[in-house]
Structure 1
């Protein structure tokens, strides 16, 4: 009977860990790296969104700037003669006053002069109208500070308060822009007038007593 040699006897060894097995520390380290990458990705996404929003705002501001510059350029062309036309309005005023004075005068020899002034005035107004100049009436209208300049206040029982009752100087528009406000006389507020009269009466009583 053959004896088993001692070298052939199987030995009990320790269990060997393979490369596929990961320790707990390595797993935690991997999770930490993944979490850090997620945070970095979120930060990059937030930064990209902020940059995109900033780009949209910049584009909107640029478009508004372009529109504003185009409007300013259009207004410059549209109202390039504004100062010149405004300086011509006193000439219109003088011609109108001369025409009114001539019409009120009785001598017949002034008729040719009146007709000449009227012709010049009409030609001048037609020229101004070609540039968009128009006058506006004020008498009988409510006082509007946007196009009226009050020169005087009067009491009136025939008109509502803050109504224009007379006109010192005619107002004009240049297209859709006020070229010159009308200088007018406005009726005083009845409440204000009554209060002033009451105060004056009280002062008289005090003085008398």
Structure 2
């Protein structure tokens, strides 16, 4: 024989309240499916944003590395630019000295000094060549304002108009970068004589 415990009406209400509260807790602990979908979309958007930021930072780092490498190459390439520009005046002086004509009666010391100047000029030109310094001596070439500086213009029929007649001072380029423009005289077409019998 089993005895059943008498149930009290108040006790039954409490049990029902507890079960209802437990059901509410369970409902609150598990968010609805729409909220989960929203959280997933937000997490995916954040992940995409982080990936995008990572890729941008990686690209920027690569660009900085490339710029630094380019700057290093340029620095090496043009490190001698200022020094070379200073040497151009020395080369000009040696070239002028080499153009002095010595006659047969010149004493031997002068001739030896002249030979020394020629040898020094040759060595300097060799050093320029090894350093990729090229001479601009544009006689007969078309005038190029990027490489030449027009000092004057002369009328002549012997050279085409807008071409270099003579060079007053040679120019130089270092690795295709202008160190000093060539100072030149440029040809222009001769003025045409006024036709006879024309209006006065």
- The reply to whether TM is greater than 0.5 is yes
TM-score, with length taken from structure 1: 0.63
Partners of 1:128 and 1:51 lie apart in 2 by 54
Aligned runs of 1:66-77 on 2, under 5 Å? 66-77=65-76
Structure 1 counterpart of 2:154: 154
RMSD, aligned α-carbons? 3.0
CA separation of 1:178/1:42 partners in 2, compared to 1, >3 Å: closer, same or farther? same
TM-superposed deviation, 1:127? 2.7
Partners of 1:47 and 1:187 lie apart in 2 by 70
Does 1:53 pair with 2:52? yes
TM-superposed deviation, 1:91? 0.9
Structure 2 counterpart of 1:13: none
Render the CA deviation track for 1:9-30: whole Å, top value 9, x for unaligned.
xxxxxxxxxxxxxxxxxxxxxx
Listed as ranges, the gaps of 5+ residues in structure 2 are 1-30
Aligned runs of 1:54-203 on 2, under 5 Å? 54-100=53-99, 102-103=100-101, 106=103, 108-109=105-106, 111-188=111-188
Partners of 1:163 and 1:183 lie apart in 2 by 13
TM-superposed deviation, 1:88? 1.0
Q: Secondary structure at the match of 1:141?
A: coil
TM-score, with length taken from structure 2: 0.66
How many residue pairs match? The answer is: 162
Partners of 2:173 and 2:160 lie apart in 1 by 26
CA separation of 1:157/1:42 partners in 2, compared to 1, >3 Å: closer, same or farther? farther
CA separation of 1:41/1:179 partners in 2, compared to 1, >3 Å: closer, same or farther? same
Listed as ranges, the gaps of 5+ residues in structure 1 are 1-31, 199-204
Structure with greater helix share of residues? 1
Partners of 1:50 and 1:108 lie apart in 2 by 89
Partners of 1:41 and 1:92 lie apart in 2 by 75
